[in-house]
C-alpha cells in the first residue's frame, strides 16, 4: 500500500481530465508562473510532466516572466539519458515555487563537462549541480574477498 502511495503521489489531487487544455491556456494567463505552479500541484504522470515542461519552455522562449516562481539554474551531469529526467525536475520544481532552468551536458560527458571551463555547464554558472551517475561511471570492479590493494583492482587500461 505505501509503495503505491509514493508511486502514485497519493497525497496530491488527481489531475483534471482537461489538463492538456489547461496547459495550453496557461500561456495566455497572467501571472503565468502562478498558473504553472497550480498545474504542477497535481499528481502528474511522466507525460504530463513533459507537457508542463513544454509550457515552461514556451513561456521562457516568449520572454514571459514566471513570477512568482523563483529562478534557479541547475547544472545536470549524468552518464545516462537526461532528456527524461529534466522535464520531471522542472515541472516538480514548479510545484514548490521554483522556476528551474536545467543546463545539461552531452550524453556520457560527465568529466569533460565538469572539468572544462568552456563547457556549457561551467559557462552557464549554475546555482547548483546535480551529478546523476550510476555504477558504470565509476572505475570500480566487484572483487569480494580480494586481498589485492585497491590500485590493483582497477579495470585494465585505467591508471591508478
**What is the secondary structure of 29-58 as a DSSP string?**
SSSHHHHHHHHHTS---HHHHHHHHHHHHH
| Mean pLDDT computed over 3-11 | 66
- 143 domain residue, yes or no: no
Given pLDDT bands bounded at 50, 70 and 90, which one contains residue 108? confident
Instruction: Report the share of the chain in percent with pLDDT over 70.
Output: 81
**pLDDT above 90 as % of the chain:** 56
Check whether 156 has a pLDDT greater than 80: no
- The whole-number pLDDT of residue 37 equals 97
Question: Binning pLDDT at 50, 70 and 90, where does residue 92 land?
Answer: very high
Residues 73, 126 contacting (CB under 8 angstroms): yes
Domain extent for 11 = 2-136
Mean pLDDT of 117-124: 94
Q: How many helices (H) and strands (E) does the chain have?
A: 7, 3
Position 155 in a domain: no
Q: How many domains does the chain have?
A: 1
Q: What is the reported pLDDT for 146?
A: 66
The verdict on residue 108 lying in a domain is yes
Q: Comparing 154 with 110, which gets the higher pLDDT?
A: 110
Examine residue 145 and state whether it is found in any structural domain, yes or no: no
Residue 126 included in any domain: yes
- Rounded to whole angstroms, the Cα distance separating 153 from 160 reads 9
Q: What is the pLDDT of residues 14-45, one digit of tens each?
A: 999 999 999 999 998 888 999 999 999 999 99
Is 91 or 108 the better-scoring residue by pLDDT?
Answer: 91
In sequence order, which ranges of the chain are alpha helices (DSSP H)?
Answer: 2-7, 19-26, 32-40, 46-61, 85-95, 110-115, 120-124
Domain for residue 147, yes or no?
no
pLDDT of residue 52: 96
Q: Would the pLDDT of 138 be above 90?
A: no
Q: Is residue 43 part of a domain?
A: yes
Task: Give CA separation, 33 vs 18, 46, 59, 112, 131, in Å.
Answer: 19, 21, 9, 34, 27
Full-model pTM: 0.77
Lookup result for grid cell 552518464: 79
Report if residue 153 sits inside a domain.
Answer: no
Amino acid at each position: 500500500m505505501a509503495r503505491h502511495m509514493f508511486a502514485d503521489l497519493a497525497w496530491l489531487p488527481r489531475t483534471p481530465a482537461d489538463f492538456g487544455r489547461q496547459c495550453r491556456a496557461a500561456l495566455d494567463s497572467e501571472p503565468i508562473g502562478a498558473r504553472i505552479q497550480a498545474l504542477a500541484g497535481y499528481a502528474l504522470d511522466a507525460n504530463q510532466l513533459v507537457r508542463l515542461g513544454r509550457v515552461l519552455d514556451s513561456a521562457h522562449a516568449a520572454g514571459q516572466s514566471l513570477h512568482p516562481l523563483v529562478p534557479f539554474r541547475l547544472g545536470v551531469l549524468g552518464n545516462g539519458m537526461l532528456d527524461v529526467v529534466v522535464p520531471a525536475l522542472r515541472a516538480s520544481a514548479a510545484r514548490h515555487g521554483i522556476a528551474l532552468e536545467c543546463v545539461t551536458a552531452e550524453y556520457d560527458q560527465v568529466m569533460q563537462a565538469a572539468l572544462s571551463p568552456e563547457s556549457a555547464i561551467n559557462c552557464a554558472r549554475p546555482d547548483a549541480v546535480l551529478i546523476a551517475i550510476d555504477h558504470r561511471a565509476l572505475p570500480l570492479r566487484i572483487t569480494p574477498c580480494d586481498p589485492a590493494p585497491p590500485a590493483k583492482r582497477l579495470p585494465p587500461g585505467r591508471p591508478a
